[in-house]
Amino acid sequence: MTALYRKWPPRAGLLGSGIVALLLLVGIGVVGVPAHDGAAREGHRGASTARATAPATECAGLTGLDLAGVEGAPTFVDSAADVRADDNKLGHWEACRVTGTIAPQVRFELLLPTRTWHQRYLQTGCGGYCGTVSVDAPASEGCVPLTNGTFAVASSNEGHQGAGGFNAAFGTDPTLRADFGYASDHKLALAAHHIIRAFYGTPARYSYFDGCSQGGHQGLTEAQRYPDDFDGIVSGAPASVLTALNVWYQGWNAKANVGSDGRPLLTAEDLAPLHKAVVAACDNDDGTQDGLLADPRACDFEPSQLMCQDGHRSSTRAFCLTRGQATAVSKLYEGPRDGNGALLYPGWQLPGSELNWKSWIVPVHPGEQTLASQIATSTWRFMVHSEPRPGEDLSDLSFTRAEFARIMGENAGIYDATDPDLGRFSASGGKLILWHGYADPAISPVGTIAYYRAVQDAMGGSAKTSAFARLFMLPGMAHCTGGQGPDQFDALGAAIGWVEHGKAPTRLVTRSTHEGKTTATRPVYPYPLIAVNTTGGPNNRASSYTARQPATEHDDRIAWLGTFRSGYQQQCAWDHGRWVCSAAARRG
């Protein structure tokens, strides 16, 4: 991967003889430090220490640490300062806060516990198109190893600064495309392990990754491309098929709700009665009447059932859908398709998600641009063409097989985490927890199910797959958080138990809270099992539920124009003065 970093100017050396002595003392090479056996993590097969490991040097001694010679991740530490326990947003533990830059502009933050480290490393993902650094860890509610400071924790901006949200302007630079698509997380893993060893005088024994949305994409990218970086990966609502997701899925969702006059067909006020009608039609399908759809794909609700008799709405009638509104809802349930009905993305909006369409698909207030429209427009303008098209909008987006083939052929290998062959990750002892909310309006949960099915096919069946990877589907949960079902749980703790103690997760207990108090608990089981209230107890208590096979058997091999293909990824490299992204066989 050396060719990726030729733009990075090599520094004259480490700053000061004291730091040189420190590096020699702890065994870090100054130039060209290789990863352990081609991997970022070291010593991961040993047991986690029961006693906290003390730092081998002062925090301030890391300031200016120059690791420009680290192969694959030339790094410079910009600052290092002590953080009081009261000022640590991850938990009540003291830390050394390190910030730095990895070539060319991957900004990162690393929190190193000064009293409580148990030789664990956690890397967290970001959301949207990133551009900022946040070490917050999703799906880790109540995770004591995180809150009590046994982890060193790091995160990055994914290689570009200041974009934030869904601004994809960074995509005009092929180097930054590669860092966002797949390279920055591996760079951070390499750099963080070197800094950890410099600070403590010993490597981390276990490495974990935790992220949702784009963070979920990051986790899958690591498992597929760099299977030795992490022992355990938690990947939530992953934007795995990112190219098709952000062009055709978001574009379809944005355009489906726009009438011929350019105004939204469905308004925010329509969503509650629409959702109520859907739940009333399908709540009993999963065996528990609780206002949630544990198997929403079994729901056969047809929007035409709610259509106004004459196709128009009257204020004197009960709620109904106009002809245009019913068509919009049908399009959202069908997913993005070409003129012949072929899917351009392996997913669609599921029944039961309607309340969560607000802001994503349906504007909160008249005149507002939806998030789906923002994502699709910015992606189309800056990320998927060889030259930016800042003057174009969604009216220039074509839902055709030819356009799909062109865009996916040029970009899927950079942005997409769709390789189902996780053999190397499994062989290295890695464990993967996938999770997704069934009522997610931003990323279709069907796509995650389809990817998991492809993994099962590639890995020799469900039994062999579940030995290292499991999927959990959460009823009523929106995108990464919120929604109508319990949305708080600790998948990171489950990953730790699986990696360090061999305890594969047989369920996750989710919670809803209000003003700090738990209002409901519910178990979720490895897919395809669903939670059914078999005891007659309260629906808001996990003890009332038992794992059951759903009544409807679904075909998870979703037919779409793309594919989950093994062993082939694009790489970007510096070639004769310019950056070139091209397809290259990943395995020899």
pLDDT of residue 36: 33
Which residue type occupies 284? N
Model pLDDT, residue 5 = 27
Among 250, 217, 245, 262, which residue's Cα sits nearest to residue 377?
250
What is the token pair recorded at 184?
């920055």
SS3 (DSSP) at 41: coil
143, 493 contact by CB (below 8 A): yes
Give, for 58, the enclosing helix (H) or strand (E): none
Going across the sheet that includes 120-124, the strands are 66-67, 75-83, 95-102, 106-113, 151-156, 120-124, 206-212, 232-236, 431-437, 469-474
d(CA 225, CA 184): 12
Identity of the amino acid at 460: G
- DSSP, collapsed to helix, strand or coil, labels residue 276 as helix
Estimate the crossing angle of helix 214-225 against helix 184-200, to 10 degrees: 80
* DSSP helix/strand/coil, 1: coil
Q: Specify the pLDDT at position 14.
A: 31
Residue closest to 147 by CA, chosen among 116, 101, 170? 116
Burial of 49 (0-12, 13-18, 19+ CB in 10 A): middle
CA separation for the pair 260, 39 (Å, rounded): 54
Q: Where are the alpha helices (DSSP H) in 357-444?
A: 371-382, 401-415, 423-427
Q: Are 2 and 103 in contact (CB under 8 A)?
A: no
Where do the DSSP E strands lie in 125-279?
Answer: 151-156, 206-212, 232-236
The mean pLDDT values, 10 residues at a time, for the chain of 588 residues are 28 32 32 36 52 93 90 93 89 93 95 96 94 88 89 94 76 91 96 96 97 97 97 98 97 97 96 97 95 97 92 72 96 98 98 98 94 96 92 94 94 93 97 98 98 97 98 98 97 97 97 93 98 96 97 95 79 61 48
Amino acid (one-letter) located at 11: R
Cβ atoms of residues 271 and 393 within 8 Å: no
Distance CA 588, CA 586 (A): 6
Q: Which of 443, 516, 427 is nearest to 480 (CA)?
A: 443
Contact (Cβ atoms closer than 8 angstroms) between residue 509 and residue 489: yes
pLDDT score at 317: 65
Helices (H) and strands (E) in the chain, counts: 15, 16
